[in-house]
């Protein structure tokens, strides 16, 4: 049962308030997806907005063959892939990970406040993600960051569920050495945040 269905139906009939509610439900997820897959590129925010604009334009044609969440993620992934190809063609510069200088700057700032700690953690994770191939990255992000089910990921990407499993397995293997130092730091950060007594 698609919990968004009634809102989607209302939005398809032109109800802008219903669509705004859908935006409120998913804007954090879509922004996170864009930033995680585009390595926090400046274009990520623009792409996240464009996802909702495209969906608003075409919501009338949504047939309900999948859930709204899957459809939204499919639109988002397609737009993000297009953007990566465009950037690659125009600038001949791969959307790269943040440099070590960026991270160390962020790391220094992060020791002060939890907010900065979150930013640091996010930057570090995105930096690791940017170092693995995009197909593995997409599958891992959809599963572990976005929390989609395996079946939903298969529907989003239009690939068999076995391929999804394989990509997630290999993606995590590639991420293991990149995230291992972070894992210890995350635990330490959690302990430091715990109120004393």
Partner 1 sequence: MLSCEEAARSLLYAADDVTLLDAAARAALNDHMSHCAECRRELRDQAAVATVLRTRPPDVPSLEFSAALRARLDDTNGWLSLADWRRWTVRLLPAACILVLAAFVAPSHTSVRPGSALRDAPVISGSEASEAILWDFGAPPDAVVEAMLTGPQPQGTGQ
CB 111, min distance to partner 1, A: 16
| 179 binds partner 1, rule: CB under 8 A | yes
| 183 binds partner 1, rule: CB under 8 A | yes
Residue 70 φ then ψ, to 5°: -65, -45
Residues 118-147 within binding reach of partner 1 (CB under 8 A): 118-119, 121-122, 125-126, 140-141, 143-145, 147
Compute how many residues bind partner 1; rule: CB under 8 A: 42
| 168 binds partner 1, rule: CB under 8 A | yes
Among 27, 98, 103, 163, the residue binding partner 1 under the rule CB under 8 A is 27
Among 25, 74, 98, 172, the residue binding partner 1 under the rule CB under 8 A is 172
DSSP state of 60: G
Q: CA 25, 12, 53, 159 torsion: positive or negative?
A: positive
Among 23, 87, 103, 134, the residue binding partner 1 under the rule CB under 8 A is 23
- Let me know the angle formed at the C-alpha of 126 by 118 and 28, rounded to the nearest 5 degrees: 65
| Helices marked H in the chain | 5-12, 16-37, 43-58, 68-91, 100-110, 114-129, 134-140, 150-157, 161-193
| 151 binds partner 1, rule: CB under 8 A | no
Question: Closer CB to partner 1, residue 70 or residue 123?
Answer: 123
Which among 24-32, 73-81, 91-99, 105-113 is the span making contact with partner 1, rule CB under 8 A? 24-32
Q: Name residues whose C-beta falls within 8 Å of residue 160's C-beta, 6 or more positions apart in sequence.
A: 154
Query: Using CA atoms, how far apart are residues 149 and 142, in angstroms rounded to an integer?
Result: 8
CA distances in angstroms from 118 to 80, 99, 122, 130, 151, listed in the order given = 24, 18, 6, 18, 30
Q: How many CB atoms lie within 10 A of CB 100?
A: 10
Residues 58-117 within binding reach of partner 1 (CB under 8 A): none
| 15 binds partner 1, rule: CB under 8 A | no
Q: Which residues bind partner 1 (CB under 8 A)?
A: 16, 19, 23, 27-29, 31-32, 35-36, 45, 48-50, 52-53, 56-57, 118-119, 121-122, 125-126, 140-141, 143-145, 147, 165, 168-169, 172-173, 175-176, 179-180, 182-183, 186
């Amino acid at each position: 049962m698609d919990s968004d269905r009634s809102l989607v139906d209302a939005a398809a009939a032109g109800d802008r308030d219903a669509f705004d509610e859908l935006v409120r439900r998913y804007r954090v997820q879509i922004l996170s997806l864009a930033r995680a897959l585009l390595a926090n590129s400046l274009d990520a925010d623009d792409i996240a907005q464009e996802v909702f604009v495209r969906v608003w334009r075409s919501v009338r044609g949504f047939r309900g063959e999948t859930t709204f969440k899957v459809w939204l993620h499919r639109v988002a992934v397609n737009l993000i892939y297009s953007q990566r190809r465009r950037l690659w063609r125009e600038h001949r510069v791969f959307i790269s990970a943040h440099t070590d200088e960026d991270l160390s700057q962020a790391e220094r700032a992060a020791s002060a406040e939890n907010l900065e700690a979150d930013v640091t953690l996010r930057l570090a994770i995105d930096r690791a993600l940017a170092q693995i191939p995009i197909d593995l990255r997409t599958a891992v992000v959809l599963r572990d960051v976005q929390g989609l089910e395996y079946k939903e990921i298969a529907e989003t990407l239009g690939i068999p569920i076995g391929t999804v499993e394989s990509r997630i397995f290999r993606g995590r293997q590639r991420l293991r050495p990149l995230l291992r130092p972070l894992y210890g730091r995350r635990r330490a950060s959690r302990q430091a945040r715990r109120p004393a007594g």
